[in-house]
Chains A and B, each alone.
Chain A
């Protein structure tokens, strides 16, 4: 192999870059996200369910919130009819955050985990730490 050291150097650089996800994780403990639903409002509920089934909320809450923004601020529609027929107020502050009053233990838990930075709190008032509005 002629000029072999250049090839080997290039391969070493390539391997270092490709294995970055593994090497960057060395020594860092694996923290699994555990969004907490332990709030006074949720404890009071008999059947602990959000406005839609859990799996649906996990996947689609972003779409629901985005459509709620348009319903409330553009169309003046203030009532959301869930798939099971129940009616809810279209309001982040008064519906979502009433039960999920623990933003840093519920919202942030997963959002930080997957590095998502929603801009809800650019306009809405961010709940204070401790869950009291």
Chain B
């Protein structure tokens, strides 16, 4: 990068006796690593989300954490659910997956035991969808590519919840199918309901859609130049790496070539 892009939220490093913000406006690589960690693990930029409103003719700007809470709840639940599914894809489930499973279901409500993440992800998704439907400003800027992943993931969550708690499926046969894929020896067991295949289809659609959609923020967050570059513009010289030697010609050379012609035409020259 020729220049760092310091969209900061804290005091820049300048003089040693001026206290500066090490995480929000880092000047070192380690500071950047911390900023990236907080960005990825806790959505720190979103935490600063504000909302402007006009009340009694005056403009007020206040902090608005709902989007941050909804996004954080959704992403972590999605991660836990994804990791939990590993029990269908490996022969012997590792203990850490079992641990996550038992913590997730530790309320021991009903049988099969209720996973908290199932409730939270459904609530978070409905909030994120409701925001796009009922908030006029957000509705105005929402595109099909915003709604589609929401509906897709809602469909996946809904079929998953239906299979686990209500319609019930033959889970042993499902694992025979998934392990068949893992061992590169695919089989299709009998007796699997359509609900499972709907779930599988929607997940496949999600995986196929992922690399071409806004969901690529999963990889893109690591490449945000405003987050992953240290703000050291004044400490180091940053040369544009795609600079190339520009072809140029001095006036002197030009005049040397055309001096005679210029004289004949009456154009003044610097050297005779």
Chain A interface residues toward B at CB < 8 A:
2, 7, 10, 14, 20-22, 24-25, 28, 30-33, 55, 58-60, 62-63, 65-66, 110, 113-119
Interchain CB contact under 8 A, B183 and A30: yes
Interchain CB contact under 8 A, A28 and B191: no
Given known contacts A2-B241, A65-B111, A28 and B171 CB-to-CB distance under 8 angstroms: no
State which of B13-21, B47-55, B141-149, B174-182 sits at the interface with chain A. Answer: B174-182
Query: Quick one: CB contact mask for B206-249 with A, threshold 8 Å, 1 for yes?
Result: 00000000000001001100000000000000000100000000
Alpha-carbon distance A28/B182, docked complex (angstroms):
12
Give how many B residues have a beta carbon under 8 Å from the other chain's beta carbons.
Answer: 36
Contacts of A31 in B (CB 8 A): 91
Question: Which 8 pairs of residues, A with B, have the shortest CB-CB distance?
Answer: A21-B89, A115-B93, A66-B111, A115-B87, A59-B168, A110-B172, A58-B170, A24-B90
B110 within 8 A of A: yes
Interchain CB contact under 8 A, B87 and A66: no
Alpha-carbon distance A18/B78, docked complex (angstroms):
15
Interchain CB contact under 8 A, B222 and A10: yes
B101 within 8 A of A: yes
**Most chain A Cβ neighbours within 10 Å, of B86, B172, B183, B241:** B172
Chain B interface residues toward A at CB < 8 A:
1, 86-94, 97-98, 101-102, 108, 110-112, 168-173, 175-176, 179, 182-183, 185, 191, 193, 219, 222-223, 241
Alpha-carbon distance A66/B183, docked complex (angstroms):
35
Contacts of B241 in A (CB 8 A): 2
Alpha-carbon distance A2/B243, docked complex (angstroms):
13
Contacts of B86 in A (CB 8 A): 20-21
Interchain CB contact under 8 A, B172 and A114: yes
Alpha-carbon distance A127/B178, docked complex (angstroms):
32
Interface of A is mostly: helix
Alpha-carbon distance A33/B219, docked complex (angstroms):
39
Alpha-carbon distance A32/B171, docked complex (angstroms):
13
Could you tell me the distance in whole angstroms from the C-beta of A51 to the nearest C-beta in chain B? 16
Nearest B residue to A28 via CB reads B91
Contacts of A7 in B (CB 8 A): 223
Interchain CB contact under 8 A, B171 and A25: no
Contacts of B92 in A (CB 8 A): 28
Given known contacts A22-B182, A66-B111, A119-B108, A114 and B175 CB-to-CB distance under 8 angstroms: yes
Interchain CB contact under 8 A, B91 and A59: no
Contacts of B170 in A (CB 8 A): 55, 58-59
Contacts of B173 in A (CB 8 A): 58
Could you tell me the distance in whole angstroms from the C-beta of A6 to the nearest C-beta in chain B? 9
Given known contacts A113-B175, A114-B175, A115-B98, A30 and B169 CB-to-CB distance under 8 angstroms: no
Could you tell me the distance in whole angstroms from the C-beta of B207 to the nearest C-beta in chain A? 10
Contacts of A20 in B (CB 8 A): 86, 90
**Most chain B Cβ neighbours within 10 Å, of A14, A25, A62:** A25
Interchain CB contact under 8 A, A30 and B179: yes
Interchain CB contact under 8 A, A25 and B172: no
Alpha-carbon distance A105/B185, docked complex (angstroms):
25
Nearest B residue to A22 via CB reads B182
Nearest A residue to B101 via CB reads A115
Residue contacts A-B, CB under 8 angstroms, 17 given? A21-B89, A24-B90, A24-B94, A25-B91, A25-B179, A25-B182, A28-B92, A30-B91, A30-B185, A31-B91, A32-B176, A55-B170, A59-B169, A66-B110, A114-B87, A115-B98, A118-B111
